[in-house]
Structures are given as C-alpha cells and as structure tokens.
Amino acid sequence: FSLYIVVLTLGLLRPDGSIGVESHINLNPMQLISDLQTNSVSWLILYINIILFMPMYFLLTFIPVLNSFLKRVLAFEIIIFIFEGLQAVLHVGIFDIADIMLYNIGFFIGAGIVIFFNKILKIKTKRR
C-alpha cells in the first residue's frame, strides 16, 4: 500500500504544464466532455485516471482498521481529495471534479472485481 501511495504521489503531484493558468480549480465536470471532443490525449488521460485507482480497494483490504466497505470508501475519498487539493495548492495541476469522478469510477470497478472474486472463492470453498 505504501509503495502504491508513493507511485501515486510521484504521478499525480508532478508539474503538468499548468503553470500560468489563472485558476487551479475546475468545478465543472462537463469540461471533460469538451476536452474529449477537442483533444485526443484527453481519452488517454481518462483511461489512466480510471485505471489508476482500480487497485485501491484491494490494497485497503489489508489495513486492519478499514474492515468494512464504508470505511474503505471514506478512506479512499479522503485520499483523493488530498491529492487533488495538493495539486491546486502546490500549483502542479488542477483540482478537477471530473478527475474525482473518474477516480471513483476506477475505485468502484476495482471494488466490484474484488467483491466478485471473494464471492467466487467463498462458493468454491463451501463446495469442498
């Protein structure tokens, strides 16, 4: 988990060329649609933002204090708001609501995968 957080920090808190931008906050989630229509690189960023947080639920299952789904979701939300806030405060990116939405999509896809495999494993162990 710690290594994953270090990699996220290096990836998310690197300068992205937004220096000189007037605002480091974007509260318009519809800006994502406009970006996707005008910039083909935005599609790659969209997929990366979703995939980036897919392993988070699985990794949070190894933290004993986070022993329920709700606690893991809350911990995840705190983590992503810290990362997005630091991007704006450190002027290395933009606090972007669309990114938060994409991170959540990735997190819940990852959670669904983990829960699915846990149920499959429980079914197979019951049969034995």
Query: 9 in a domain, yes or no?
Result: no
Question: Domain for residue 11, yes or no?
Answer: no
Decide: pTM greater than 0.75.
Answer: yes
Name the residue range of residue 110's domain. 27-127
One DSSP character per residue, 33-97 reads: HHHHHH-THHHHHHHHHHHHTTTHHHHHTTSTT--SHHHHHHHHHHHHHHHHHHHHHTTSS-EEH
pLDDT per residue as tens, the chain (128 positions): 899 999 999 888 887 665 555 667 888 888 888 888 888 888 898 999 999 999 999 999 999 999 999 999 999 999 999 999 999 888 888 888 999 999 999 999 999 999 999 999 887 777 76
Does the residue 6 lie in any domain?
no
Assess if residue 10 is contained within a domain: no
Residue 113 falls within a domain, yes or no? Answer: yes
115 located within any domain: yes
Please give the pLDDT value at position 23. Answer: 66
Residue 45 lies in a domain: yes
Domain total of the chain: 1
Residue 49 lies in a domain: yes
